[in-house]
Amino acid sequence: MKTKQTTKTTYHIPIGPIHPALKEPVAFEFEIDGERIVDVDVSLGHVHRTVEWTATKRNPIQILYLAERICGICSYCHPTAFALAVENIANIEVPERAEYLRVIQAELERICSHILWAGVAAHEIGFDSVLFLTWQIREKVLDLTEYLTGNRITKGIITIGGVRRDITKEHHPKIFETLNYLKDNFEKLRKVYLDDKTFRMRAQGCGILTKEDALKLCAVGPTARGSGVKKDVRVDQAYFSCADLDIECITPDVLTGEVNGDVYDRIIVRLLEVKQAIDLIEQCIDKMPAGDIVSEPKVAKVLATLKKASGEGIGRMEAPRGEVIHYVKLVEGEEYPFTWKVRAPTYNNIMPWVPMLIGEQIADIPIVAASTDPCMSCTNRVAIVDSGKKYELNKEELHRLSVEKTRRLMA
Amino acid sequence: MADKKRFTPEEIVKSFKDEFKAKIKNTRIERRTKGPSKHEFVHIWMKVDKSIFKDSVKHLATLQKYPHLAVASGNDLGKTIELIYHFSIYYGVPLGEISINISVELPKSKPEIETICDIIPGALITEREKQEMLGVTIKGIPDSRRVFLTDDFPEGVYPWRKDETGPQKLIRNLHEVKK
């Protein structure tokens, strides 16, 4: 008797280049077996704007403002990493006070970024009331950023050799008011994210990245720390005044005593880092010595020094999403840098997506993809190609699947 | 990780020199201090011969099981193409991390280098980027597709090159465009 031959087929689902979980365009191609993801392919480059090439036609001070526009959320760390690299090459000493001011700005950005992410993560699983709550809190921090730097997003605060605006005694009441507001609301956030039953159901055991994989695939930032890899540039390598502050690398076992490397662990790491950032700002204000805020306030003089400088250097700092590293090569007599290479943290967190997503369900894609906090944007549509027939899943549809899964789990 | 003895920067450079003799050149230990208490951080730079590049990464992996590869950057130096791999080791130790930058020069006539994806799987994206941006060939790369450039980007144009294969032809200066 002839047995009917069955071949197991899998579906291919392209997601992106524009997607709700991704705040920047990136395209995925998923291989799906039923509801399970079997394989993932990521393609990048949809917003390649040749920033690095443009920089070879700009002088270092102009590059600071160009670097700021690489990313809207990390608008502080890119110019800072560039400044650090240039300072290393030209041997520019930064005044002590400026080192503390730089930490304050970096931590403010971390709070904004992590709270923004927390809102997006809540939205991904259909918890929109929490999205509004977190963004309301973030608004206060943005107000403080505006108060201290003059701008909410592109702050223009960093310069080569220091910072451009001081924080004086008059600023203190507003800073402490905002920090106290954050502390009051932190408990509320902690309850929602860590104790809520729905959150735990969606986040625990989902999107697991093992420590081994995190190390092999060179993951950085909260993604690596969520898997128990102790890696934080602030702790590992002294930059700014971080070595003088009481700062520890946060891994999820601090709170729960164990590391699973799932979405929940990455939530823990980010939440605790918000608390850590509040603490660091307080420490900085407390310890900050009086003095200059920039080594050379005259821009023309800085540029003249840099024109004479020659050599190559790297600048590394811990951005909200992980290590950011810039490589700069300056040639003597040239106004513009010879090479500038920017490496944003998401670059290294692309590969860890693959082990995270394999084995998960379609409805888990948004939350897992969002859990690395990719620097990316909002979905148009997903097309499911099913043996020649083409279905299109739009953003709302995918979001609905995710929300429905939450409802199913709650029932 | 913690089970092995941690080397000082000098010992790291010495271990490389002992292993590869004259094929390691231009070693430089860059020390800088930061912050009010003048804590030191170290960047090690070295240039290796292309024949021992892969062995030098293997040697680095003996110092720490998983050296962290941040990124590889590259320069067009005229006759040669320079690739610089930025590693860091001893992370997780407060203030103990050391950055190691290994550079390797490839002749433009035959810009080929071996992949290190088998030692550090996370190197894939940066290797793919070097292929499309600098026109080097990574031998044995598991996935040789483009990563940032679009598929319709012309072949034989490499955006990071500064010679005739560079992107000059593709550039339109707005001030030169006639209305």
pLDDT in tens, A289-313: 999 999 989 999 999 999 999 999 9
Q: Which chain A residues are within 8 Å of B96, Cβ to Cβ?
A: 236
Which pLDDT score, from 0 to 100, does residue A200 have? 87
Residue A165 shares a structural domain with residue A235 = yes
User: Domain residues of chain B, as ranges?
Assistant: 9-162
Q: Domain tally for chain A? A: 2
Q: A312 contacts in B (CB within 8 Å)? A: 45, 84
For strand B112-114 and strand B137-139, is the pairing parallel, antiparallel, or unpaired? parallel
Q: Are residues A43 and A61 in the same domain?
A: no
A88 or A20: which leads in pLDDT: A88
Average pLDDT of span A363-381: 63
Q: What is the mean pLDDT of chain A?
A: 84
Which of A30-34, A97-101, A124-128, B169-173 is the most confident on average?
A: A97-101
Higher pLDDT, A21 or A235: A235
Confidence of residue A383 (pLDDT cuts 50, 70, 90): very low
Separation of alpha carbons B46 and B54, rounded Å? 14
Query: Are A25 and A149 found together in one domain?
Result: no
Q: B8-41 burial, b for 16+ CB within 10 Å, e for fewer?
A: ebeebbeebeeebeebbeebeebebebbbeebeb
From A343, A359, A382, the end of a domain falls on A343
Whether A281 shows a pLDDT value over 60: the answer reads yes
Q: Do A238 and B84 touch (CB under 8 A)?
A: no
Q: What is the pTM of this model?
A: 0.88
Q: Determine, yes or no, domain membership for A353.
A: no
Q: A136 with A182, same domain?
A: yes
Asked if residue A49 has pLDDT above 90, the reply is no
What range defines the domain where residue A403 resides?
11-47+373-410
What secondary structure does DSSP assign to B67-95, as a single string?
Answer: -EEEEEEEEE-SSEEEEEEEEEESTTSTT
Indicate if A23 and A62 belong to the same structural domain: no
Residue with tokens 């990071």: B160
pLDDT of residue A142: 93
Residue A408 exposed, middle or buried by CB count within 10 Å (0-12, 13-18, 19+) = exposed
B9-162 maps to CATH 1.10.3210.10: no
Contact A48 B149 (CB under 8 A): yes
Examine the domain organization and report whether A37 and A146 are in the same domain: no
The reply to whether A37 and A94 lie within a common domain is no
**Tokens (6 digits) for B33:** 């201090």
Long-range contacts of A190-199 (CB under 8 A, 24+ apart): A190/A271, A192/A122, A192/A130, A192/A133, A193/A118, A193/A267, A193/A271, A194/A255, A194/A267, A194/A268, A194/A271, A197/A410, A198/A125, A198/A127, A198/A406, A198/A409, A198/A410, A199/A122, A199/A125, A199/A127, A199/A264, A199/A267
Contacting residues of B for A327, CB less than 8 Å apart: 71, 73, 84, 86
Q: Which residues of chain B have pLDDT under 50?
A: 1-2
Q: What is the CA radius of gyration of chain B?
A: 19
Give the CA distances from residue A220 to residues A46, A53, A213, A308, B164, in Å, rounded to whole numbers and listed in that order: 22, 25, 12, 35, 37
**How far A156 CA sits from the closest chain B CA (Å)?**
22
Residues A316 and A405 in one domain: no
CB B12 within 8 A of CB B31: no
Residues 34-63 of A with CB under 8 A from B: 43-45, 48, 50, 52-53
Asked if A37 and A176 sit in the same domain, the reply is no
User: Chain B partners of A240 at a C-beta cutoff of 8 Å?
Assistant: 34-35
Query: Is A378 a residue whose pLDDT tops 50?
Result: no
Residue finishing a domain among A292, A325, A343 = A343
The answer to whether residue A93 scores a pLDDT higher than 70 is yes
Q: Is the pLDDT of residue A22 over 70?
A: no
Distance from CA of B91 to the nearest CA of A (A): 6
> Does A69 share its domain with A149?
yes
Question: What pLDDT digit, counting tens, does each position of A134-187 carry?
Answer: 999 999 999 999 999 999 888 889 999 999 999 999 999 999 999 999 999 998
pLDDT at A409 over 80: no
Mean pLDDT of chain B: 86
Residue B150: CA count within 13 A, CB half-sphere = 8
Residues A81 and A34 in one domain: no
In a domain, A115, yes or no: yes
- Supply the ipTM of this predicted assembly: 0.91
The answer to whether A242 contacts chain B (CB < 8 Å) is yes
Q: Is A327 on the interface with B (CB under 8 A)?
A: yes
Q: Tell me which residue of A284, A317, A294, A295 sits closest to A67, measured CA to CA.
A: A317
Q: What pLDDT shows up at residue A285?
A: 92
Q: Measure the CA dihedral A15/A16/A21/A25, to 10°.
A: 160
The CATH number linked to A213 is 1.10.645.10
Give the model's pLDDT for residue A376: 40
B60, B68, B141, B146, best to mutate vs chain A, most A CBs in 10 Å: B68
Give every strand in the sheet of B80-89, ordered side by side: B24-34, B39-48, B98-107, B80-89, B68-76
- Indicate the range of A351-360, A387-396, B37-46, B58-67 predicted with least confidence: A387-396
- Mark whether A101 and A212 lie in a shared domain: yes
The pLDDT score that the predictor gives to residue A87 is 92
Does any CB of chain B come closer than 8 Å to the CB of residue A88? yes
B31 CB within 8 Å of a chain A CB: no
Q: Is residue A393 part of a domain?
A: yes
Asked, for residue A368, whether it belongs to a domain, the answer is: no
Between residues A237 and B171, the one the model is more confident about:
A237
Is A355 part of any domain?
A: no
Q: What percent of chain A stands above pLDDT 70?
A: 91
Is pLDDT at A3 greater than 70 in this prediction? no
